[in-house]
């Protein structure tokens, strides 16, 4: 059974940093592209970033480009999202999502999410 | 990249059919068949209901179907049931190699 478990969320001050982790089980992350999707409280879904199965290709939403970095450690079957220069508008539940393939950006499995709150 | 346009809310009675629209541009829906639909119940993670415009993942009811015409995709739910009450989001691959979601549609089953 595919499972994705996010961790690392919490309260951080504006301008601060946080690293989210997504531990996968039931499949090998190196076989699929992996994504982060976020949802601000009471709002809709927003795609954040993708990393290809090889890790050689990454893309970001304009809203986080230059501030967030996605990475993967295939030996740990885990992906990460390093978030720097955090803003109030980054407050959201962050979901890890497994791609259906390598870079089709359609998500057939999701984690339960981790809440990031950016506030002073 | 602007969000895809969905109606904010829709409603239907049990047994009825409803169709949720999702309008994009020639840089996303109009140019790619990588359109997906997700169902999200309150406090839960989204669930993939349709991929590649009109394909259902294993385990998704055949009451859910998808289509596309030009820059607009649609999700049709037939034989509405109480458990279909949820938020629905469309998404599309874009010419920037990124993904864009719709704003979401809150479906109420009366």
Which residues of chain B lie closer than 8 angstroms to A110, CB-CB? Answer: 45-47
Other residues' Cβ atoms within 10 Å of the Cβ of residue A86: 22
Mean pLDDT of chain A: 95
CA nearest to A63 within chain B: B1
With b meaning 16 or more CB within 10 Å and e meaning fewer, what string describes B4-33?
A: bebbeebebeeeeebebbbbbbebbbbebe
What pLDDT, in 10s, does the model give residues A30-87?
899 999 999 999 999 999 999 998 888 999 999 999 999 999 999 999 999 999 999 9
Q: Which two tokens stand for residue B45?
A: 């993670």
| Contacts of B53-62 spanning 24+ positions with Cβ under 8 A | B57/A108
3-state helix, strand, coil in chain B (%, to 5): 5, 50, 45
Specify the pLDDT at position A102: 83
Give the strand pairing for B72-77 and B18-23. Answer: antiparallel
Q: Which two tokens stand for residue B101?
A: 């979601």
pLDDT along chain B (110 residues), means of 10: 92 97 96 96 97 96 97 98 98 94 97
With b meaning 16 or more CB within 10 Å and e meaning fewer, what string describes A11-42?
A: ebeeeeebebbbbbeeeebeebbbbbbbbeee
Specify the pLDDT at position A75: 92
Q: Give yes or no for B90 touching A (CB within 8 A).
A: no
DSSP annotation of B51 reads B
Q: Give yes or no for B32 touching A (CB within 8 A).
A: no
Specify the pLDDT at position A92: 98
Q: How far apart are CA A92 and CA A84, in angstroms?
A: 15
Give the model's confidence band at A101: pLDDT under 50 very low, under 70 low, under 90 confident, else very high. Answer: confident
> Cβ separation of A45 and B46 shorter than 8 Å?
yes
């Amino acid at each position: 059974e595919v499972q994705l478990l996010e961790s690392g969320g919490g309260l951080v001050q504006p301008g601060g940093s946080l690293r989210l982790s997504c531990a996968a089980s039931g499949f090998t992350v190196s076989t699929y592209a992996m994504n982060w999707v976020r949802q601000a409280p009471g709002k809709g879904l927003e795609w954040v970033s993708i990393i290809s199965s090889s890790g050689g290709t990454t893309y970001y939403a304009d809203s986080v480009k230059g501030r967030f970095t996605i990475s993967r450690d295939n030996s740990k079957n885990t992906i990460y999202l390093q978030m720097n220069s955090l803003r109030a508008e980054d407050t959201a539940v962050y979901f890890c999502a497994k791609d259906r393939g390598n870079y089709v950006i359609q998500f057939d499995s999701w984690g339960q999410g981790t809440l990031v709150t950016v506030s002073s | 990249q602007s969000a895809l346009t969905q109606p904010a809310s829709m409603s239907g009675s049990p047994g009825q059919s409803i169709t949720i629209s999702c309008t994009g541009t020639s840089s996303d829906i109009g140019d790619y068949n990588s359109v997906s639909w997700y169902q999200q119940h309150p406090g839960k993670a989204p669930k993939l209901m349709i991929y590649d415009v009109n394909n259902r993942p294993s385990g998704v009811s055949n009451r859910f179907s998808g289509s596309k015409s030009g820059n607009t995709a649609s999700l049709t739910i037939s034989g509405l049931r109480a458990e279909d009450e949820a938020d629905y989001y469309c998404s599309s691959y874009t010419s920037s190699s990124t993904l864009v979601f719709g704003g979401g549609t809150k479906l109420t089953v009366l």
